[in-house]
Structure 1
Amino acid sequence: MKFSENIQEVTLLQPDYLGFIFYPKSPRNFEGDIPTIPSSIKKVGVFVNASIDYVIEKVKQYDFKAIQLHGNESPVYCQELKTRCQSISNTKSNIEQQDQIKIWKVFSIKDSFDFSILTPYEAMVDYFLFDTKGKEKGGNGYTFDWSLLEGYPATTPFILSGGIGLDQIEAITSFMSRPESNYLYAIDVNSKFENAPGIKNIDDLEKFKKRVISQQT
């Protein structure tokens, strides 16, 4: 998300999360203030090879509930960040502490993927996010071959991302019938629902949500 009015329009659809990118090379790079949104919607800060101090600064500034790491961050980096985030949570009330800041680590997939690289991260992050490998760090607008997730060998839940739009609803339904979907935590949508970078098409998002829900009931 990027623009205040559009942010407020999207919140009316009650998504679980809203993402805010802090990467100057991205056309969706966020600057300014985030308008007040319902507490049920969790804010996610998206970073690419940023210093831990910078990430923590933004977490405190915007009260992020999740951190999406979209660069080459190491397991050691993730562990230090997790420890720093726990320190932030420990300064809050008992109720707030129950909502620990989650860490999502992105891995990009194209024609193949070596799942063994996930192993060192399993104890360090809360979720993996599988995106499509492309020219840009996300928002490339096309999907990877989800069949590569067949026999998913890890135990960390994952988020499915990469070029997901209205034309993927049947594929999502099919994926949900497969054993590896037991590890599917969320579906991340972005560029396929934009009128321009950072400006989401509300009508298409609403159609997507309704159709996905109807396919699962």
Structure 2
Amino acid sequence: MSESKVEHKPLVKICGLQDVEVLKSMKHLTVDFIGFVFARSKRQVTAAQAADLVNLFSEWEVRPLPKSVGVFVNPKLEEVEGILEQVSLDVIQLHGGESPEFCRELKARLGVEVFKVFSLNSNPNELEEDIEATLAPYQGAVDAILIDTFDPLYGGGSGKTFAWDRSLPYQIWARKMNIPLFVAGGLQPDNVNELVNSYSPDGVDVSSGVETNGIKDINKMTAFVERVKKA
């Protein structure tokens, strides 16, 4: 890992956007990625809805503009291709059991970045060599990896934290590959500062932690972003 990378502020990804007015209220925030969920979820959007939301990026007051991320679980290539015909996505984030070969094909055929999510299971004693064996085939196939808490229904997106020290072997591998490691799972304004200061992930990903009654809350999003960028 280069010294310049150490000095970078962590990247911020806010996921699960659905509402035009909410997105308009965010245009002053220093957000690096905004995620739109196409997988089964209470935050799921259609391609048409996502297209309307992505078009609002042109109104963003902060530069560079955020990148648009489409979140999928075990999609068919044709499904992703069809959505990309309707909405401009910079990144495809994969939450399922997608193979390295599938990730490579997405990158090659569709010209997008690919983020691969690894959901941590209930075993807190994973061996480093087992993690390395899991990750090694993805070398060159992905542009970032994201660690989340396993959810039996959706795979990730549980809104629950995990023991953050479990991210360290993944972080070591990501830095060897010179790609970012994002941490998700139960993050919110009151705990993200501790994560960033203690474990130095390259990025953080939040959804339910910046919501009130299931709706994105501009005050919580503002506090979250400020605490990450000032950590």
Question: By the TM > 0.5 criterion, same fold?
Answer: yes
Partner of 1:46: 71
For residues 206 and 112 of structure 1, the distance between their equivalents in structure 2, rounded to whole angstroms, comes to 36
Amino acid at match of 1:148: R
1:201 aligns with 2:226: no
Cα pair distance change 1:112/1:26, threshold 3 Å: farther
Where structure 2 has 5 or more consecutive residues not aligned to the other structure, the ranges are 1-16, 59-64
State the identity as a percent.
34
Partner of 1:37: 56
Per the TM alignment, residue 112 of structure 1 is displaced from its structure 2 partner at its CA by: 4.3
Amino acid at match of 1:163: G
Q: Please, which of 43, 59, 70 is the counterpart of residue 95 of structure 2?
A: 70
Partner of 1:141: 159
Deviations 1:14-67 (A, max 9, x none): 4111100112x3101102332322351211001111110110121231110000
Partner of 1:171: 195
Pairwise CA RMSD: 1.8
How many positions carry a matched residue from both structures? 192
For residues 131 and 68 of structure 1, the distance between their equivalents in structure 2, rounded to whole angstroms, comes to 12
Deviations 1:152-171 (A, max 9, x none): 44224311111111221223
Q: What pairs with 1:56-205 in structure 2 (closer than 5 Å)?
A: 56-86=81-111, 101-110=112-121, 111-113=124-126, 114-115=130-131, 116-137=133-154, 138-151=156-169, 152-154=171-173, 155=177, 156-168=179-191, 169-176=193-200, 181=201, 184=202, 186-197=203-214, 199-205=215-221
Partner of 2:36: 20
Q: Which has the higher contact order (CA 8 A, sep 6+)?
A: 2
Partner of 1:92: none
Per the TM alignment, residue 196 of structure 1 is displaced from its structure 2 partner at its CA by: 3.8
Is the partner of 2:93 in helix, strand or coil?
strand
Where structure 1 has 5 or more consecutive residues not aligned to the other structure, the ranges are 87-100
Cα pair distance change 1:196/1:50, threshold 3 Å: farther
Is the partner of 1:37 in helix, strand or coil?
helix
Amino acid at match of 2:73: V
Is the partner of 1:131 in helix, strand or coil?
strand
Per the TM alignment, residue 200 of structure 1 is displaced from its structure 2 partner at its CA by: 0.8
Is the partner of 1:62 in helix, strand or coil?
coil
Amino acid at match of 2:187: I
